[in-house]
Amino acid sequence: MIIISKINLNKSVIPALIVAGLFLPASQSYAQESFQSSLRGIAGKISTFLTFRKPEVSPEDKTGQEIRTRREAVEKIFDLTKLEQADLLNRLSGLKDLNDQQKKMRITLTEFVKENNNGLKEIQSRLENTDRLEDIKKLASDFKDWRTLVYNPKTEKVVAFTFVFQGKNILSVAEERLANVRTDLSEHQDALTEKNEDAEIIFKKAESEIKEAEELNTQARNLIMIALNNALNPAKGIKAAEKEIARDIADSKAFTEKAMQHIRNAYGKFLELGEIIDYAN
């Protein structure tokens, strides 16, 4: 039996859902568009729901409208969950240059995500066979609890893993760009003349930024692997393990964010070097 809290259909529901982390906006454009469309649909249902309180609506009409609106709101959230599920699998499959251990972890996390299908099938079945208002309210409550207790913890781990290793992919591109800039500077060395010293200083700063990013990303990758191995194969007390896992996941994301800032700084230096080369030509 799936455990799932009531969806309070009020004016603040959409920002509250987003702030609470109920939804994970997908990174791909198709998923983002569908996500926004679904949110607009939910907003429309909420506006309709607010009219239930108007005195001119009969009790019978009010109940019928509430059933339809609550059902459609749950259906929208269900559709969003399926979009999230697909996005998580796409993120995992899109990772590149993983070593053997990391590939095994990706396989494990992929199966981890696919386990959600059983819960989604039960929710869908209940949606298709629920007509009473109290049953729909219970379904909404169960669905919310399932997302909170089962779905969101899995999602957090997968997102952390993909975030860190997508960071590695971005770093690889930056390293390639650094090598290309080194080649460009070498080819234009004679033309740079008095700007040569400035270019060398700026290049060393860019190189230093990339090196900092490499070190941070290495720490992030090591931490996320430790965290996920502990999460999937807990050897310590549950409370202690949960705290350590949460800390390591948070730290791995923080290291990745810092690495991304160093990469942005490096690209700023690349632009400065590009201007110097253009000026020399």
- CB atoms under 10 Å from CB of 65, counted, come to 15
Please tell me the predicted confidence (pLDDT) of residue 238.
Answer: 54
* Residue of 21, 13, 5 lying closest to 156 (CA atoms): 21
Please tell me the predicted confidence (pLDDT) of residue 7.
Answer: 35
Please tell me the predicted confidence (pLDDT) of residue 177.
Answer: 93
**Maximum separation of any 2 CA atoms in the chain, in Å:** 86
What is the Cα 93 distance to its own chain's centre?
14
Please tell me the predicted confidence (pLDDT) of residue 33.
Answer: 47
Please tell me the predicted confidence (pLDDT) of residue 57.
Answer: 52
80: exposed, middle or buried (Cβ count in 10 Å: 0-12, 13-18, 19+): buried
The answer to whether 248 and 226 are in contact (CB under 8 A) is yes
Please tell me the predicted confidence (pLDDT) of residue 278.
Answer: 75
Please tell me the predicted confidence (pLDDT) of residue 51.
Answer: 43
Please tell me the predicted confidence (pLDDT) of residue 41.
Answer: 52
* Residue of 86, 74, 81 lying closest to 41 (CA atoms): 74
Cα-based angle 163, 164, 168 (whole degrees, multiple of 5)? 115
Given a cut of 50, the residues of the chain with pLDDT beneath it are 1-35, 38-40, 43-55
Question: What would the two tokens of residue 146 be?
Answer: 């399932």
Q: What is the DSSP letter of 197?
A: H
What's the rounded Cα separation, in Å, for the pair 72 and 212?
Answer: 49
